[in-house]
């Protein structure tokens, strides 16, 4: 049983717009045990859309169309799918009446082209759209002796998602063999991607029944584990066994097993231990504070701090002695530690964090190259400082540095 | 002349990965005057890939495949395109020799499956890949009497982009009628999307020869203008004329006409006027400082500031009187102004910026609801403060607020 997703709309054939509905639909289909074999984007063009629909109906069991269901001349999905299937459209007068009523309630005359949205493919069921005017359609049919399920879905994501859960998922679940799907995501911080894969591939390759996807970003490697089995207990057992082995191997590099972000985990520990945090950032320019405050309720564990971009502000807000900066440079272990210790004390916090580094592209020297970053944390008794040299451009270096800062914090408070 | 892009790789059929190469290729093709009519994603499956290739060869003039050119069993693009065209693969011994040599230099024995990368489709030209081992391929052929250009390109973006500019673009330019394409992007800040479209649609609809795409994000609406004409002067004139009319209509909401970001524009004016900035942020938690310091060289105009998340820090770092907070609340016009004025003075800056608001999801009241934000700027003589009520969730409110702050700054210093 394979599925194909066809996103309709010329705007998705420009350099500016991506189809993103297919990511949602893929996840939904995977959870029902259905694999997506093809994704197509096609513009608002009759011949092109018929061609895409014909190819899909010829090769895939389930075909989902998104978009092109509106009232304008450009909206051609209904017409084209009917043409590809060789069947007629019939106008559903109940839908037309309901539309007239809705416009009348708002005391607006209905533009005549709106009636188009009531055209239904022969044999299709109309799927009410609770969040918009264009209803979806659901059709089970046979083409050249092969069973096909065809769905027409609205393009706006909030309409599509509501309609999917209410109308499509239950219908599809009835047609498919029962499949229990369990997902688990392990997230790790500050593990190099190549090392993460080298250490884990021999483990997850022993589990061909669990689909493992490794995703790597700046300072974060995630393992997405997906298992399908006849019962939920079997699927859960398969995922848990692999997750356990991966956690044993990766140890405390794993910071989350339930989807939480690194900033959420840091916030969770700070709040649990009733600790208040203050930060003093130079090269990250506020990124660590921004990430921490992106968590709702962060005022319970985060006081604030200073963005000490200039040397004067390092002294003014974090009391770093000018002589220290002169002796060791603003980018040094000593300054990072002073930032962490002093911001903690000045703000009357329990934990202080300090960051200084060279984000580039200019400002690097042979001794202190672009990418060099010092991160320090202090709880008044223990001080920790790490020196790192991060790769990439300004944005990547800053992102790596903020990730390192959050990870050092996590290790201090967990 | 229409093009079709086929991205090959099962990882792009999961909920986690998107094909992004097609955005780059679409822009490149558009600039050559070629429209993309279909984009397809297909997995590493022989039958599926042959099916996608056959459909594309049947309907499109230019077909670009990305990915699936590596040495592993999963890499099937060469085989499948040859099968779809009904031609053979021949092993290119020069490429094999070069690969052996490269491995020998690194004193590693070449794994035998690597030779696969030297398989060339009958009639194709080999395109050297300066950044990876898998070469591309370029083929001009005729299928059922119709001319077709087929290209096989590597999947990693940095390999693809280098190879495109060096090998594909010149070949394609030779085959295509000369087309001059000119693009211009107008960016506006703090204009509601619906108002922006209502005011501009009557203007850009008068220019059917310029393709106008309107993109809206949090507090930013962009107009992407694209014109194709036989000469560059004609294309430029068409774009400039429309851009001029749009600028007249939108006036000082337009902050950029050459692609710069809002933070770059603010930095540009600050540096030009030799002004230093300091900020005091509450609800944005460092986002404004982070955006400003994302610009390379921002140390020339940005001193730093404070993230005054708790009320104590508003007093400690920005000298906001506790009585003022008690009288007006931390989220008030008075506190925003005090933050801006005081941070300016304390940091010895020329311009001070203050932000306070309620990002939610909790903390709102009837009088001061979630989304209420005050932004103030001060240059020591003039003070400006705006009150806004932003829609959406925590992340969107913070993003809107930072955009408003940068826009108020821009208006103060431009």
Taking an 8 Å cut-off on Cβ atoms, the answer to whether B313 and A303 are in contact is yes
Residue A356 tokens read as 């200084």
CB B307 within 8 A of CB A306: yes
Q: Determine how β-strand B277-281 pairs with β-strand B351-357.
A: parallel
A177: distance to nearest CA of chain B, Å? 21
CB B176 within 8 A of CB B34: yes
Q: Can you give the pLDDT at residue B111?
A: 79
C-alpha closest to that of B409 among B238, B182, B189, B166: B189
State the angle between helix axes of A46-59 and A77-85 in degrees (0 to 180), rounded to the nearest 10. Answer: 50
User: How many Å separate Cα A42 from the centre of its chain?
Assistant: 24
Q: Note whether A276 and A408 are same-domain residues.
A: yes
Q: Can you give the pLDDT at residue B134?
A: 86
Taking an 8 Å cut-off on Cβ atoms, the answer to whether B39 and A13 are in contact is yes
A contact test, residue of B2, B12, B14 with most A CBs within 10 A: B14
C-alpha A358/C-alpha A397 separation (Å) is 8
Q: State which of A153, A175, A197 marks the end of a domain.
A: A175
By the 10 Å C-beta count (0-12 exposed, 13-18 middle, 19+ buried), B176 is classed as middle
Q: Can you give the pLDDT at residue B110?
A: 81
CATH of residue B130: 3.40.980.10
C-alpha A322/C-alpha B234 separation (Å) is 60
CB B406 within 8 A of CB B266: yes
A362: distance to nearest CA of chain B, Å? 8
Q: State which of B111, B146, B175 marks the end of a domain.
A: B175
The dihedral sign for the CA sequence B90, B93, B95, B99: positive
- In chain B, residues with a C-beta closer than 8 Å to the C-beta of A317 are 304, 306, 317
C-alpha closest to that of B256 among B184, B353, B199: B184
Q: State which of A140, A175, A210 marks the end of a domain.
A: A175
The DSSP code for A402 is H
Mean pLDDT of A28-44: 93
C-alpha B241/C-alpha B236 separation (Å) is 8
CB A307 within 8 A of CB B284: no
Q: Can you give the pLDDT at residue A321?
A: 98
Bridge partners, residue A281, by sequence: A307, A355
Q: Can you give the pLDDT at residue A70?
A: 86
C-alpha closest to that of B22 among B42, B34, B40: B40
Taking an 8 Å cut-off on Cβ atoms, the answer to whether A290 and B294 are in contact is no
- Nearest chain B alpha carbon to A54: B55
Taking an 8 Å cut-off on Cβ atoms, the answer to whether A285 and B296 are in contact is no
C-alpha closest to that of B168 among B34, B317, B329: B34
Angle at B196 between CA B195 and CA B199, to 5 degrees: 80
CATH of residue A201: 3.30.70.600
Transcribe B336-361 into DSSP letters.
HHHHHHHHHHHTT-SEEEEEEE---S
Q: How many domains does chain B have?
A: 3
Residue B239 to residues A265, B30, B183, B245, B254, Cα–Cα distance (Å): 50, 15, 7, 10, 16
Residue A79 tokens read as 């017409």
The DSSP code for B258 is B
Q: Note whether B311 and B375 are same-domain residues.
A: yes
Of A59, A213, A307, the CB nearest to B305: A307
CB A387 within 8 A of CB A333: yes
Is 90 exceeded by the pLDDT of residue A98?
Answer: no
Q: How confident is the model at residue A113 (pLDDT cuts 50, 70, 90)?
A: confident
C-alpha B41/C-alpha B63 separation (Å) is 13
- In chain A, residues with a C-beta closer than 8 Å to the C-beta of B362 are 296-297
Low-confidence ranges of chain B (pLDDT < 70): none
C-alpha A401/C-alpha A412 separation (Å) is 17
Q: Note whether B218 and B327 are same-domain residues.
A: no
Is 90 exceeded by the pLDDT of residue A180?
Answer: no
- In chain B, residues with a C-beta closer than 8 Å to the C-beta of A308 are 304
CB B51 within 8 A of CB A59: yes
Residue A369 tokens read as 């190259």
A:B CB pairs within 8 Å: 207
Taking an 8 Å cut-off on Cβ atoms, the answer to whether A288 and B286 are in contact is yes
Q: Note whether A91 and A71 are same-domain residues.
A: yes
C-alpha closest to that of B327 among B343, B341, B338: B338
Taking an 8 Å cut-off on Cβ atoms, the answer to whether B40 and A40 are in contact is yes
Q: Can you give the pLDDT at residue A368?
A: 96
Taking an 8 Å cut-off on Cβ atoms, the answer to whether B290 and A285 are in contact is yes
Q: Say how many C-beta atoms besides its own lie within 10 A of residue B246's C-beta.
A: 23
User: How many Å separate Cα B230 from the centre of its chain?
Assistant: 28
Transcribe B18-31 into DSSP letters.
---HHHHHHHHHHH
Taking an 8 Å cut-off on Cβ atoms, the answer to whether A306 and B310 are in contact is no
What size, in residues, is chain A? 414
The DSSP code for B178 is P
C-alpha B224/C-alpha B231 separation (Å) is 20
Out of A226-235, A311-320, A338-347, A364-373, which region has the weakest mean confidence (pLDDT)?
A: A226-235
Q: How confident is the model at residue A390 (pLDDT cuts 50, 70, 90)?
A: very high
Q: Say how many C-beta atoms besides its own lie within 10 A of residue A274's C-beta.
A: 9
Q: Note whether A39 and A159 are same-domain residues.
A: yes
Q: Can you give the pLDDT at residue A305?
A: 97
CB A372 within 8 A of CB A283: no
Q: Note whether A372 and A224 are same-domain residues.
A: no
Q: Note whether A187 and A167 are same-domain residues.
A: no
Q: Can you give the pLDDT at residue B179?
A: 78
Taking an 8 Å cut-off on Cβ atoms, the answer to whether A42 and B42 are in contact is no
Transcribe B147-172 into DSSP letters.
EEEEEEE-SSHHHHHHHIIIIIHHHH
What size, in residues, is chain B? 414
Q: Note whether A162 and A305 are same-domain residues.
A: no
Q: Note whether A317 and A354 are same-domain residues.
A: yes
Task: Report whether the peptide linkage leading into residue B361 is cis, meaning its omega lies within 30 degrees of zero.
Answer: yes
- In chain B, residues with a C-beta closer than 8 Å to the C-beta of A360 are 296
CB A256 within 8 A of CB A186: yes
Q: Note whether B213 and B289 are same-domain residues.
A: no
B60: distance to nearest CA of chain A, Å? 10
- Nearest chain B alpha carbon to A317: B317
A294: distance to nearest CA of chain B, Å? 7
- Nearest chain B alpha carbon to A2: B48
- In chain A, residues with a C-beta closer than 8 Å to the C-beta of B157 are none
Residue B78 tokens read as 């060469």
Taking an 8 Å cut-off on Cβ atoms, the answer to whether A15 and B38 are in contact is no
CB A99 within 8 A of CB A133: yes
CATH of residue A308: 3.90.950.20
Q: Note whether B56 and B156 are same-domain residues.
A: yes
Backbone angles phi, psi at B359, to 5 degrees: -85, -15
User: Residues 6 or more apart from B202 whose CB is under 8 A from it?
Assistant: none
Of B37, B45, B306, the CB nearest to A43: B37
pLDDT tens for each residue of A312-331: 999 999 999 999 999 999 99
Is 80 exceeded by the pLDDT of residue A87?
Answer: yes
Taking an 8 Å cut-off on Cβ atoms, the answer to whether A13 and B287 are in contact is no
C-alpha closest to that of B287 among B270, B305, B268: B305
Q: Can you give the pLDDT at residue A178?
A: 80
Q: Say how many C-beta atoms besides its own lie within 10 A of residue B121's C-beta.
A: 23
Taking an 8 Å cut-off on Cβ atoms, the answer to whether B290 and A305 are in contact is no
Q: Can you give the pLDDT at residue A169?
A: 96
Taking an 8 Å cut-off on Cβ atoms, the answer to whether B305 and A304 are in contact is no
C-alpha B283/C-alpha B294 separation (Å) is 19
C-alpha B31/C-alpha B43 separation (Å) is 29
A contact test, residue of B290, B317, B346, B394 with most A CBs within 10 A: B290
* Helix ranges (DSSP H) in B273-367: 287-293, 311-318, 322-328, 333-346
Checking phi first, is residue A380 left (phi over 0); if not, alpha (psi -120 to 50) or beta?
Answer: left
Taking an 8 Å cut-off on Cβ atoms, the answer to whether B48 and A59 are in contact is yes
C-alpha B286/C-alpha A303 separation (Å) is 12
- In chain B, residues with a C-beta closer than 8 Å to the C-beta of A284 are 290, 293
C-alpha B277/C-alpha B409 separation (Å) is 10
B370: distance to nearest CA of chain A, Å? 12
Helix (H, G, I), strand (E, B) or coil at A241: helix
Q: Note whether B169 and B56 are same-domain residues.
A: yes
Q: How confident is the model at residue A49 (pLDDT cuts 50, 70, 90)?
A: very high
What's the domain range around A209?
180-256
A93: distance to nearest CA of chain B, Å? 32
A197: distance to nearest CA of chain B, Å? 16
- The larger pLDDT score, comparing residue B185 to residue A103, is at B185
Q: What is the pTM of this model?
A: 0.84
Across chain A, what does the average pLDDT equal? 94
- In chain B, residues with a C-beta closer than 8 Å to the C-beta of A346 are 316
Q: Can you give the pLDDT at residue B195?
A: 80
Residue B382 to residues A101, A156, B177, B190, B340, Cα–Cα distance (Å): 55, 44, 57, 21, 11
User: How many Å separate Cα B361 from the centre of its chain?
Assistant: 29
C-alpha A211/C-alpha A239 separation (Å) is 9
B253: distance to nearest CA of chain A, Å? 22
Of B13, B38, B303, the CB nearest to A26: B13
Please state the three-class secondary structure of A33-70 as a single string: CCEEEEEEEECCCHHHHHHHHHHHHHHCCEEEEECCCC
């Amino acid at each position: 049983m394979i599925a194909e997703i066809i996103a309709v709309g010329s705007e998705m054939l420009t350099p500016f717009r991506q189809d993103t509905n297919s990511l949602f639909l893929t996840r939904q289909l995977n959870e029902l045990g259905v694999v997506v074999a093809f994704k197509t984007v096609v513009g608002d063009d009759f011949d092109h859309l018929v061609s895409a629909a014909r190819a899909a109906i010829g090769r895939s069991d389930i075909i989902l169309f998104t978009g092109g269901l509106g009232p304008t001349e450009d909206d051609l999905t209904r017409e084209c799918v009917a043409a590809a299937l060789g069947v007629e459209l019939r106008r559903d007068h109940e839908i037309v009446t309901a539309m007239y009523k809705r416009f009348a309630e708002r005391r607006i005359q209905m533009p005549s082209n709106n009636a188009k949205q009531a055209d239904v493919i022969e044999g299709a069921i109309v799927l009410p759209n609770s969040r918009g005017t264009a209803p979806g359609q659901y059709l089970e049919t046979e083409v050249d002796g092969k069973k096909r399920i065809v769905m027409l879905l609205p393009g706006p994501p909030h309409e599509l998602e509501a309609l999917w859960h209410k109308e499509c998922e239950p219908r599809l679940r009835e047609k498919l063999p029962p499949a229990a799907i369990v997902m688990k995501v392990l997230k790790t911080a500050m593990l190099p991607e190549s090392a993460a894969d080298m250490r884990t591939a021999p483990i997850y390759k022993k589990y061909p029944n669990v689909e493992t996807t490794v995703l790597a970003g700046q300072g974060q490697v995630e393992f997405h584990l997906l298992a399908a089995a006849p019962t939920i207990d079997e699927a859960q057992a398969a995922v848990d066994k692999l997750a356990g082995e991966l956690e044993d191997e990766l140890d405390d590099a794993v910071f989350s097993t339930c989807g939480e972000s690194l900033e959420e985990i840091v916030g969770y520990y700070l709040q649990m231990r009733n600790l208040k945090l203050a930060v003093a950032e130079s090269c990250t320019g506020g990124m660590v504070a921004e990430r921490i405050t992106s968590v709702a309720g962060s005022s319970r564990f985060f006081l604030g701090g200073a963005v000490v971009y200039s040397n004067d502000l390092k002294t003014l807000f974090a009391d770093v002695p000018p002589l220290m900066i002169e002796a060791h440079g603003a980018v040094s272990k000593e300054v990072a530690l002073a930032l962490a210790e002093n911001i903690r004390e000045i703000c009357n916090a329990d934990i202080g964090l300090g960051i200084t580094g060279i984000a580039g592209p200019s400002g690097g020297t042979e001794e202190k190259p672009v990418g060099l970053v010092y991160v320090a944390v202090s709880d008044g008794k223990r001080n920790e400082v790490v020196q790192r040299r991060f790769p990439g451009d300004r944005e990547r270096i800053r992102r790596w540095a903020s990730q390192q800062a959050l990870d050092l914090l996590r290790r201090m408070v967990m």
